[in-house]
Chains A and B, each alone.
Chain A
Amino acid sequence: MNEHVETPPVAIEDLPLLRASGLTRFYGDRIGCRDISLSLWPGEVLAIVGESGSGKTTLLNCLASRLVPTAGCVEYRMRDGTVRDLFRMSEAERRVLMRTDWGFVHQNPIDGLRMSVSAGANVGERLMAVGARHYGKIRGEAEHWLERVEIATDRIDDDPRAFSGGMRQRLQIARNLVTNPRLVFMDEPTGGLDVSVQARLLDLIRQLVADLGLAVVLVTHDLAVARLLSHRMMVMKGGVIIEQGLTDRILDDPREPYTQLLVSSILQV
């Protein structure tokens, strides 16, 4: 190892946190996503939009290493500054990363929660997975996070089966954020919720992302959600990115025929 560590020429904020290149995933001879390259910086919210079957969830799962790509690589800058290729890490190393530095918010909270244990345990479990052992501290931290996601702390011992859809989703968010991750993947986090519940959740996500400086990859088919939460946007169709840029630019001045169709299909209230 070189002992003379020099100050990096660029600030750490100027280096991407996540970088994918040539990411491709086939399902048999069917394309999931093809030749996708992207970079994500700390504190940045990137929305991936497109209709069902456009490949956005396949891409998200490849980025989050939940799915092994057919080709291409995903690199992640660890907390110590080293850049690692996700698919060259050991399974154990990847699991640690997913439990600590990353979060994954599923559309359906059932996929991201343990339904048969209490709300407090759902949050505390992630802490124990990173080595916390002191019961009082774990419970205190769980209470703090329930409060942050606006769940009354007297519900800490209830299990999520007794929660409404919106509460379950907020609990899933608390469970993900308790380990202080730097990167959170979200798959349609507000899908399937009533609009008023959706608005509350959107506002909560928006605040937490800004306060904690999270980097987020957000998959959504809802352009209004993308407008509200994301800085940058990628439009997918048939497994490839057809247009990308500043979220405002894509929505106010869409160039591609398909993007124009999507934007013109937004319901105005």
Chain B
Amino acid sequence: MPSRLILTDVGKSFVMHLRGGVTIPVISGVSFSIDAGECVVLGGPSGIGKSSILKMIYGNYGVEAGQIICACESGKLIDIASADARTIHALRRRTLGYVSQFLRVVPRVSALDVVAEPLAAQGASHEEARRRAAELLARLNLPEALWDLPPATFSGGEQQRVNIARGFITDHAILLLDEPTASLDAQNRAVVIDLIAEKKKAGVAMLGIFHDKDVREVVADRVIDVATFSRRSNAA
């Protein structure tokens, strides 16, 4: 299978100007690649820089050093580390998906529409997007009574299922998973495991963080130990 995502010598630190310009090193020399149809898991303790790697790939964090090459379906290669805002925005719409731990709630938008939105943004009709959204929410056992409500008042587990459905609804070739199972019960964890397996079969390249050992062991084709890139351990 071809590589979808290739990181080469990626490094990141934060300069905190509000604290006298102190530099906080996070990671350096991050190099790995992910093939189509593969699920790679970032391992290591909290605070070691796992989420930072996902955020750099998704464009939320700037990249100080190195390259993050994304191989698009068209065959085009894009370096996320140096890409402009418009390129990253287009990449997010077509190629690069992200399931975050927490839902960023938009006031007044129903759960169904929150889930349908990324598919509609790719050009699917409103009806088709909502139909697919309903399928996924049903599969994730979100009570139908909640579908037309904005998720702001949902429980953590319910919000997370909305988030998962939103992340899995499209056929993005690369999917970043930031603890998608953190607040789910066993039944819904199993659904997420199935969804990941289906994405693998469809050739999607996935990079994830899973603190849940059981889930990690089932979904991971490989575990990358982020401690080897971390600069936190030897930071002052």
- B-binding residues in A (CB < 8 A): 41, 44, 199-200, 202-203, 206, 210, 228, 231-232, 244-249, 252-253, 255-257, 260-261, 264
Contacts and interface: CB of A to CB of B under 8 A. Distances in A.
Contact of A246 (B16, B17, B89, B109): B89
22 contacts: A44-B86, A200-B108, A206-B106, A210-B121, A231-B86, A231-B89, A232-B86, A232-B89, A244-B85, A246-B59, A246-B85, A246-B88, A246-B89, A247-B85, A248-B60, A253-B55, A253-B60, A253-B61, A255-B15, A256-B17, A260-B16, A260-B17
A261 B18 contact: yes
A46 B3 CA distance: 34
A97 B107 CA distance: 34
Interface of B: 14-18, 55, 58-62, 84-86, 88-89, 106-109, 121
Given A231-B89, A257-B17, A203 B61 contact: no
Contact of B59 (A44, A249, A261): A249
Contacts of B18: 257, 260-261, 264
B60 A249 contact: yes
B89 A203 contact: no
**Closest 10 CB pairs between A and B?**
A257-B17, A199-B107, A246-B85, A203-B108, A252-B60, A253-B61, A232-B85, A248-B60, A260-B17, A245-B85
Contact of B61 (A44, A210, A249, A261): A249
Give the one of B17, B18, B61 with max A CB within 10 A. Answer: B17
A173 to B, nearest CB: 16
A260 B60 CA distance: 15
Interface centre among A202, A228, A252 (most CB of B within 10 A): A252
A178 B106 CA distance: 26
Contacts of B62: 245, 249, 253, 255
Contacts of A255: 15, 62
Given A41-B86, A249-B85, A228 B61 contact: no
Main SS of the interface on chain A?
helix
Contacts of A252: 55, 60-61
Nearest to A44: B86
A210 B109 CA distance: 14
Contacts of B121: 210
A41 B89 CA distance: 12
Given A41-B86, A44-B86, A231-B89, 17 more contacts: A199-B107, A203-B107, A203-B108, A228-B106, A232-B86, A246-B59, A246-B89, A248-B59, A248-B60, A249-B60, A249-B85, A249-B88, A253-B60, A253-B61, A255-B15, A256-B17, A257-B17
Given A41-B86, A231-B89, A203 B60 contact: no
Most buried by A among B16, B62, B109: B62
A231 B85 contact: yes
A255 B85 CA distance: 15
Contacts of B89: 231-232, 246
A50 B67 CA distance: 31
A245 B15 CA distance: 18
A245 B85 CA distance: 5
B107 A200 contact: yes
A244 B107 CA distance: 26
Nearest to B17: A257
Contacts of B106: 203, 206, 228
B127 to A, nearest CB: 14
B122 to A, nearest CB: 13
A5 B17 CA distance: 54
A246 B63 CA distance: 13
Contacts of A200: 107-108
A210 B120 CA distance: 10
Contacts of B16: 260
A37 B86 CA distance: 16
Contacts of A231: 85-86, 89
A232 B16 CA distance: 23
A14 to B, nearest CB: 9
A264 B19 CA distance: 12
B89 to A, nearest CB: 5
A241 to B, nearest CB: 13
Contacts of A244: 85
Nearest to B18: A260
Contacts of B14: 253
